[in-house]
């Protein structure tokens, strides 16, 4: 996609994990879009990304290694969809002034998530792009493994994967050890990763992992009710901090 012979300006929504990294790699290889910035959201209290738990300093290290600027939008602790919508609207305003007309995401097949993004961004004149859309989980994992990207598992859903899965590299051995009822790509929240080398990373991103701990979090649902979810976390740290 080009306009007047030039790539279309876009913002890439960066989670720091495997799907996000694979989608970005495909976009950079395709040359259809000029990525003006990575965009990520963090908890403004602990300064970490929501599910992956990546500290801001490591998010910046990832961006620096990739060679792209990073814009960090801050969300309140236990923030809901309204807080996310507000942060995205502010980001849209910022990047529209830079000529960005597309927001790129690393979603795979969650139709409700894509519909939500399109519904919220369309009124701002922003089109949604999904480089991995329509692929099966097995296809995405296979593409990731073949890409040369390297990621480490940092979070697992406690009711599916125990602490032995945390801290392992995302490789064929990890995929082969997953329970039969687990999505190999973790699309149901079975696991989350930190991507740190290979592909578009010019140099590996150094990091340190702590021993896994089990944590339970209340999550406010759209209907106003609260549900508690348990996860195994291995806290990520910048080794220079």
- CA 193-194-198 angle, 5° bins: 115
- Given a cut of 90, is residue 161 above it in pLDDT? yes
- CA 39-56-7 angle, 5° bins: 25
Q: Is 189 helix (H, G, I), strand (E, B) or coil?
A: coil
CA-to-CA dists, residue 38 to 11, 13, 71, 81, angstroms: 6, 6, 6, 21
Q: Which of 169, 165, 166, 192 is closest to 179 using CA atoms?
A: 165
Report CA Rg, the chain. Answer: 17
What is the mean pLDDT of the segment spanning 132-143? 94
So what's the pLDDT on residue 5?
A: 62
So what's the pLDDT on residue 3?
A: 58
**pLDDT (tens digit, 9 = 90+) per residue, 45-91?**
788 887 778 999 999 999 999 999 999 988 776 656 777 778 788 88
Q: Which CATH architecture has domain 2-237?
A: 3-Layer(aba) Sandwich (3.40)
Lowest mean pLDDT among 1-5, 106-110, 230-234: 1-5
What percent of the chain has pLDDT above 90? 64
Lowest mean pLDDT among 32-36, 91-95, 124-128, 202-206: 91-95
Q: Is 4 left (phi over 0), alpha (psi -120 to 50) or beta?
A: left
So what's the pLDDT on residue 224?
A: 76
Q: How many residues does the chain have?
A: 241
pLDDT band at 43 (very low <50, low <70, confident <90, very high): confident
**pLDDT (tens digit, 9 = 90+) per residue, 170-201?**
999 999 999 999 999 998 899 999 999 999 99
Contact 239, 208 (CB under 8 A): yes
Report DSSP state, residue 39.
E
Taking the C-alpha atoms of residue 33 and residue 29, their distance in angstroms, rounded to an integer, is 10
- Given a cut of 70, is residue 140 above it in pLDDT? yes
DSSP string, 84-105: HHHHHHHHHHHHHTTT--EEE-
CA 163, 169, 170, 172 torsion: positive or negative? negative
CA 162 to chain centre: 22
Taking the C-alpha atoms of residue 144 and residue 187, their distance in angstroms, rounded to an integer, is 14
SS3 for 120-164 is: HHHHHCCEEECCCCCCCHHHHHHHHHHHCCEEEEEEEECCCCCHH
At residue 223, φ and ψ (nearest 5 deg) are -85, 5
Please state the domain extents for the chain. 2-237
């Amino acid at each position: 996609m080009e306009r007047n012979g030039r790539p279309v300006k876009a913002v890439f929504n960066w989670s720091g994990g495997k799907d996000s990294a694979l989608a970005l790699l495909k976009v950079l290889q395709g040359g259809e879009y000029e990525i003006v910035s990575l965009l990520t959201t963090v908890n403004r209290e602990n300064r970490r990304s929501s599910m992956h738990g990546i500290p801001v300093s490591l998010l910046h290290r990832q961006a620096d290694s990739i060679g792209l600027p990073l814009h960090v939008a801050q969300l309140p602790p236990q923030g809901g969809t309204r807080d996310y919508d507000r942060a995205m609207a502010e980001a849209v305003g910022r990047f529209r002034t830079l000529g960005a007309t597309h927001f790129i995401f690393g979603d795979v097949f969650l139709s409700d998530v894509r519909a939500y993004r399109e519904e919220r961004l369309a009124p701002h004149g922003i089109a949604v792009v999904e480089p991995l859309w329509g692929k099966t989980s097995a296809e995405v994992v296979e593409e990731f493994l073949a890409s040369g990207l390297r990621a480490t598992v940092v979070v697992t859903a406690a009711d599916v994967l125990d602490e032995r899965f945390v801290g392992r590299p995302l490789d064929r051995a990890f995929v082969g050890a997953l329970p039969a009822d687990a999505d190999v790509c973790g699309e149901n929240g079975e696991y989350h990763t930190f991507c740190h080398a290979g592909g578009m990373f010019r140099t590996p991103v150094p990091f340190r992992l702590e021993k896994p701990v089990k944590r339970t979090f209340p999550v406010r649902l759209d209907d106003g009710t609260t549900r508690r979810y348990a996860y195994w976390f291995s806290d990520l740290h910048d080794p220079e901090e």
